[in-house]
Structure 1
Amino acid sequence: MSNTLTIGQSTTLNAIRALAAFAVLVGHTLSGVTPISWFGKIMPFQSLAVVVFFWLSGFLITYHCLTREKYSFSEYMIDRFSRIYVLYVPALIISFLVFVLFIGRTAPTAWDWIGHLLQLQHTPFARMIDGIPPITVFGGNTVLWTIAVEWWLYVFFGIAFFWRDMSAVERMFATVLAIPATLVVGYFTIWESVAWEWFLGAAFAYIYVFMPRVNWKQVLVPLAAVIFGLLWRFKKLSLASHMNMYDQQLLLLTGVAMMFIILASTNLRVSTPVKWIATKGAFLSYAMYLTHEPIRVLLSTQMNSAKPLNAWLSILICVLFSAVCAWLLEDKHLTLRKWLKKKIAPRETPLAASSTL
């Protein structure tokens, strides 16, 4: 019998996701304040929060695939497409309106639009293959590079996970997608290490689902050891001129720490208010991640965001804006994927088990 997430573990995952999104927002905002901020500038924890997002993605997607019955590659791709694009496309439009129309930055070209819609931004094709024009960051929404890497990790994992049970049509489609997926995932595994964090999360999902159930007392010692290792690595890196939050050893230690934190929360008793806050925070985390940068930059043109008080006001406005976006759009991926499955993969499948994935 496979393990399923407990209430304590689900709440912990939601809280981590909410805190990671907030850390990205706070880090990006405080990095421009005067005097120089420790959080964001000296210690760019926003980058480490991105690493945490990769781990969460690898764990949750793999856990979902392992615990869901009668799941196909077509359904998987529809789920991933719907989850990404329902908020991603509006985020592109918001970025265009803010950076181009309101601030007056250079408008994206048709190739930039195509590249972002096909998740080619920040991918290695232009760097590895001569003749492919580079894709300019959309206006200035710098977080969008991670969405492209996430997308191709989804595709790469889906092909590997479902290959044996694919239909002939699915296998043809997967073969075409396998080429860009392998290039992107290979690049971000070998040259830029962030894909390792996604695979760490995926590996832990396999371990978690099939391992014997453990309680928090059994993981305290290894968790303490990993936290000590993290602190030691932070100390070593802080001696450098620039704190590299994408350091490979730091990535690995962070992924292992996440694993033990989830195991330690197996029997965690969660009060109703705490569960509500964690759930709502996770609900708006994706919208906050995608939209905070254009709103933050727009606000900086209207007020002196170098002042700490103004910076925190900007953070509050960004949170409120993301809450509105989440309220309008967050659950719409369920509607889209239900419609797509009727058109493309008509077999009826339950949706409730993965409503937040």
Structure 2
Amino acid sequence: MHKVKGVVVRAKNGPATVETILVPDPGPGEALVDVLTCGVCQTDLHYKVGGVGDDFPYLLGHEATGVVSAVGEGVTEVSVGDHVILNWRAVCGECRACRRGEPWYCFDTHNATQKMTLEDGTDLEPALGIGAFTEKTLVAAGQCTPIDTTLQDEQYAAVGLLGCGVTAGIGAAINTGAVKRGESVAVIGCGGVGTAAVAGAALAGATTIIAVDVDDEKLGTAQRLGATHVINSRSADPVAGIRELTGGHGADLVIDAVGVADTFMQAFRARDLAGRMVLVGVPDPGTVAEIPLDEVFSHGGSIKSAWYGDTLPSRDFPMLVDQYVLGRLDLDAFVSERIALDDVDAAFETMKSGKVLRSVVELDR
């Protein structure tokens, strides 16, 4: 049993506090990971405010890198000493999605069987089955994706963001949206996920990439990461603007990275005929958008939601790390600030300001 510090939220809307937690040695199929870095993601805030469930107390954090310090019986995926990115889609290989060759949709993903606890023995529910705002965490071995490339210490903060939001955005463009070279792409909403979708479109070879947001600073960041045009939808109609920038037709692919009714309808109507639309912004429960069925039929194309950007970590993480090392994917641009465990609760407030893409905890701070 290992006694370490971790960030816990005990009740809905309660503070995220640093507490002593107990982490067991790994059992069969499990791995113990010494955490190096962990990004502060919107999903962690959703846990904090009760938007994910009420299984408090939660151990927050999931966008992480670390070093495997011990493995349990039967583990072959990783070895002690491996540098890894943690993921929440450890595929089972046996469910109906896996059996039909679509493991990125796995319906029975693995997590550690044993529970990490508070000192009094209270079970902790780890965010997305990871719980990485801590010095050590216990996960299923399949939640560890080895990083073969030797990185500099300061690069792990950026690479860890592949564990969730950045990959969700890149995957929405490359995997779900299937961007082809020379296509036009519009992204509505340029927070961390939307900006990553812009970067993904650029990586895939899109030649017209239109970023839409209400914040000029976010639009500037999107331009640095590959947007060829920007539209501030506070002062301009985004549908008309996207059509004007695409010869009057609309974009081949439009990505809604916000997930409210207005942006959903903007994305639906800003597509070219037979164009594609991807919803990657997570809607609040009960959100409704009304679409006349005759428009669905007459417009053609497809409407898809992106679960984690249809990402398969074992396939996609190594490729994206390689693109980063080669200088084709600027993951460093997503790291707005580097903080300590004690700063996580304050980082949630900073997140609400919209002035950061990611605050990243570095465990040696």
Structure number with higher helix proportion: 1
Q: Same fold (TM over 0.5)?
A: no
Structure number with higher strand proportion: 2
**TM-score bin, normalised by smaller chain:** under 0.3
Structure 1 length as normaliser, TM-score? 0.25
- Greater relative CO, 1 or 2 (CA 8 Å, sep 6+): 1
